[in-house]
Amino acid sequence: MSIVSKEYRTISQIAGPLVFVEKTEPVGYNELATVTMPDGTQKRGQVLDTSGKYVVIQVFEGTAGVERAAGVKFLGETMKMPVSRDMLGRILDGAGDPIDGGPAITPEDRLDINGAAINPWARDEPKEFIQTGISTIDGMNTLVRGQKLPIFSGSGLPHNDIALQIARQAKVRGSNEEFAVVFAAMGITAEEAQYFMNDFERTGALKRAVVFMNLADDPAIERIITPRLALTTAEYLAFELDMHVLVILTDITNYCEALRQIGAAREEVPGRRGYPGYMYTDLATLYERAGRIKGKKGSITQIPILTMPGDDITHPIPDLTGYITEGQIVASREIHRAGIVPPINVGASLSRLMNAGIGPGLTREDHKAVSDQCYAAYAEGRDLRGLVAIVGKESLSERDRKFLDFADAFENRFVRQGRDEDRDIETTLDLAWDLVSMLPVNQLSRIDRKYIEKYHPAYKKSE
Partner 1 sequence: MAKQGEIYRVAGPVVTAIGISPKMYDIMQVGEEGLMGEVIKIDGDKTIIQVYEETSGLKPGEKVIDTAQPLVAELGPGLLSSVYDGIQRPLPVLMKSMGDFIKRGVSAPGLDHTKKWHFTPTAKKGDQVVPGSIIGTVMEFNIVHKIMIPPGISGTLDSITEGDFTVDETIATVGGKKITMLQKWPVRSGRPFEKKLLPDIPLVTGQRVLDTMFPLPMGGTGAIPGAFGTGKTVTQQQLAKWSDAEIVVYIGCGERGNEMTEVLATFPELEDPKTGEPLMQRTVLIANTSNMPVAAREASVYTGMTIAEYYRDMGYNVSLMADSTSRWAEAMREISSRLEEMPGEEGYPAYLAARLSEFYERSGRVVALSGGLGSVSVIGAVSPQGSDFSEPVTQNTLRIVRVFWALDSKLRERRHFPAINWLTSYSLYTGNLDAWYKANVAEDFPALRQWAMEVLQKEAELQEIVQLVGSDALPDEQKMVLEVARMIREIFLQQNAYHKVDTYCPLPRQYKFMKLIRQFSDLSNRAVESDVSVDSIVELPVRNRLAKAKYEENIDQELDAVGKEMAGQFESLGGKA
Ligand X SMILES: Nc1ncnc2c1ncn2[C@@H]1O[C@H](COP(=O)(O)OP(=O)(O)OP(=O)(O)O)[C@@H](O)[C@H]1O
Contact 357, 126 (CB under 8 A): yes
**Residues 315-344 as x/- pattern, contact with partner 1 by CB under 8 A:** xx--xx-xxx-xxx----------------
- Is the preceding omega at residue 304 within 30 degrees of 0, hence cis? no
Kindly provide the b/e burial profile for residues 135-154, where b requires at least 16 CB atoms within 10 angstroms of the residue's own CB: bbbbbbbbbbbbbbbbbbbb
The reply to whether 271 sits near partner 1 by the rule CB under 8 A is: yes
Q: Which does 347 bind (CB under 5 to 8 A by kind): ligand X, partner 1, none?
A: partner 1
Q: How far is the CB of 445 from partner 1 (least distance, A)?
A: 5
The reply to whether 152 sits near partner 1 by the rule CB under 8 A is: no
The reply to whether 347 sits near ligand X by the rule CB under 6 A is: no
Q: Which is nearer to partner 1, 65 or 347 (CB)?
A: 347
The closest of 71, 63, 52 to 5, measured between CA atoms, is: 71
Query: Residue 315: how many CA atoms within 13 Å on its side-chain side?
Result: 17
The reply to whether 13 sits near partner 1 by the rule CB under 8 A is: no
Q: Which does 2 bind (CB under 5 to 8 A by kind): partner 1, ligand X, none?
A: none
The closest of 66, 68, 67, 46 to 57, measured between CA atoms, is: 46
The reply to whether 458 sits near partner 1 by the rule CB under 8 A is: no
Q: Which of residues 311-330 bind ligand X (CB under 6 A)?
A: 322-323
DSSP helix/strand/coil, 188: strand
Contact 321, 150 (CB under 8 A): yes
Terminal Cα distance for the chain, rounded: 73
The reply to whether 99 sits near partner 1 by the rule CB under 8 A is: no
Q: Let me know if 128 is exposed, middle or buried by CB neighbors in 10 A (0-12, 13-18, 19+).
A: buried
Q: Which of residues 15-74 bind ligand X (CB under 6 A)?
A: none
DSSP helix/strand/coil, 91: strand
* Residue 276 burial (CB count, 10 A): 21
List the one residue from 352, 401, 413, 460 that touches ligand X (CB under 6 A). 352
The reply to whether 376 sits near partner 1 by the rule CB under 8 A is: yes
Q: Which does 398 bind (CB under 5 to 8 A by kind): partner 1, ligand X, none?
A: partner 1
Q: Which is nearer to partner 1, 30 or 203 (CB)?
A: 30
Q: Which of residues 201-240 bind partner 1 (CB under 8 A)?
A: 239
The reply to whether 445 sits near partner 1 by the rule CB under 8 A is: yes
Contact 45, 33 (CB under 8 A): yes
AA identity, residue 112: D
Q: Which of residues 196-235 bind ligand X (CB under 6 A)?
A: none
Q: Which of residues 371-400 bind ligand X (CB under 6 A)?
A: none
Q: Which is nearer to ligand X, 323 or 459 (CB)?
A: 323
Q: How far is the CB of 41 from partner 1 (least distance, A)?
A: 27
The conformation of residue 243, written as its DSSP 8-state character, comes to -
List the one residue from 10, 36, 80, 124 that touches partner 1 (CB under 8 A). 124
Q: Which is nearer to partner 1, 6 or 449 (CB)?
A: 449
Q: Which is nearer to ligand X, 74 or 275 (CB)?
A: 275
Q: How far is the CB of 201 from partner 1 (least distance, A)?
A: 34
Which part of the chain contacts partner 1 (CB under 8 A), choosing from 61-69, 99-107, 351-359, 406-414?
351-359
Distance CA 425, CA 433 (A): 12
DSSP-derived pairing of the beta strands 71-78 and 90-93 = unpaired
Binding site for ligand X (CB under 6 A): 322-323, 350, 352
